């Protein structure tokens, strides 16, 4: 696990975007794993800028998102489908038929199995970006007794619901369930980038970089991956 400490959020975003740009330039047909949440927004902004400057193209890219809420439609502006189009896909030349975000509108178990099948058929994920929840989750893999291997349906923990309530009119509107890639799905990505910013993430960053490797802090498992870069700003690194 390599930890890069950047001076602020913008610098963190540029470093993460540069890793994505390098991946796309060296392999235009890359399979990229994307994440939602506030943290990667700046990374996507940088990628859109690089695309507009003609530095990168998403024409050959296939994407897989980490997760999606259950119980809201794709057209809802809180869906992760909406988020990804709003922040990235609508502004670059990615082929919509190569965009994969868990479809939570039908049979969830079938979708979980099919999502794994689609990732495998695409040749696996070359580069996956993840944010981190203040409880250590990656994707929506919440702290629990064991690492869940494959894409699965999860009940969101109260701490996650409270953290995500800031995006909704009221906490009652926050979905309580989601479909998420499993820890195994994320660990099978060839390269992983974890981004975190702000003081609120300092203790969990310390725990996952220096603490025990345990499913109670799911991101800690990334220390077993051989190509992980943790990109943090100074505030998130303040307890390292
Ligand atoms: P955030 O979410 O980037 O909005 O802090 C991270 C996460 O919950 O994975």
Which of the four pLDDT bands, split at 50, 70 and 90, describes residue 22?
A: very high
Q: What is the mean pLDDT of the chain?
A: 97
SS3 per residue for 104-168? CCCCHHHHHHHHHHHHHHCCCCCEEEECCCCCCCECCECCCCCCCCCCEEEECCHHHHHHHHHHC
Determine whether 135 is an active site residue.
yes
133 CA distance to ligand 1 middle (Å): 5
Element (H, E) at 16: helix 9-26
Please tell me which residue in 103, 134, 135, 150 is annotated as part of the active site. Answer: 135
**What is the per-residue pLDDT across 108-162, written as a single tens digit (0 to 9) for each?**
999 999 999 999 999 999 999 999 999 999 999 999 999 999 999 999 999 999 9
Instruction: Please state the atom number of ligand 1 nearest to the C-alpha of residue 198.
Output: 5
156 CA distance to ligand 1 middle (Å): 13
Which of the four pLDDT bands, split at 50, 70 and 90, describes residue 82?
A: very high
How far apart are alpha carbons 193 and 142 in whole angstroms?
19
Q: What is the mean pLDDT of residues 13-31?
A: 98
Which of the four pLDDT bands, split at 50, 70 and 90, describes residue 239?
A: very high
Q: What is the mean pLDDT of residues 205-225?
A: 98
Report the pLDDT value the prediction gives residue 38, as an integer from 0 to 100. Answer: 96
133 lines ligand 1 (CB under 6 A): yes
Which of the four pLDDT bands, split at 50, 70 and 90, describes residue 12?
A: very high
Q: What is the mean pLDDT of residues 232-240?
A: 98
Report the pLDDT value the prediction gives residue 226, as an integer from 0 to 100. Answer: 97
Q: What is the mean pLDDT of residues 71-75?
A: 96
Report the pLDDT value the prediction gives residue 238, as an integer from 0 to 100. Answer: 98
């Amino acid at each position: 696990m390599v930890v890069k400490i950047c001076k602020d959020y913008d610098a963190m975003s540029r470093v993460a975007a540069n890793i994505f740009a390098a991946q796309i330039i060296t392999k235009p047909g890359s399979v990229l794993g994307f994440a939602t949440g506030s943290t990667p927004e700046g990374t996507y902004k940088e990628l859109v800028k690089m695309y507009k400057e003609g530095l990168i193209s998403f024409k050959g890219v296939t994407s897989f998102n980490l997760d999606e809420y259950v119980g809201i439609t794709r057209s809802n502006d809180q869906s992760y489908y909406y988020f990804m189009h709003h922040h990235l896909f609508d502004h670059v030349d990615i082929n919509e038929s190569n965009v994969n975000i868990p479809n939570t509108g039908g049979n969830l178990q079938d979708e979980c199995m099919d999502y794994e099948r689609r990732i495998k058929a695409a040749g696996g994920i070359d580069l996956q970006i993840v944010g981190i929840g203040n409880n250590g989750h990656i994707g929506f893999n919440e702290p629990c007794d064991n690492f869940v291997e494959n894409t699965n349906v999860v009940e969101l923990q109260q701490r996650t619901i409270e953290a995500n309530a800031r995006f909704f009119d009221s906490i009652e509107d926050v979905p309580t369930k989601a479909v998420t890639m499993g820890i195994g799905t994320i660990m099978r990505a060839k390269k992983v980038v974890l981004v975190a910013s702000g003081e609120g993430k300092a203790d969990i960053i310390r725990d996952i970089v220096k603490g025990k490797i345990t499913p109670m802090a799911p991101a800690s498992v990334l220390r077993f991956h051989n190509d992980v870069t943790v990109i943090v700003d100074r505030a998130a690194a303040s307890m390292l």
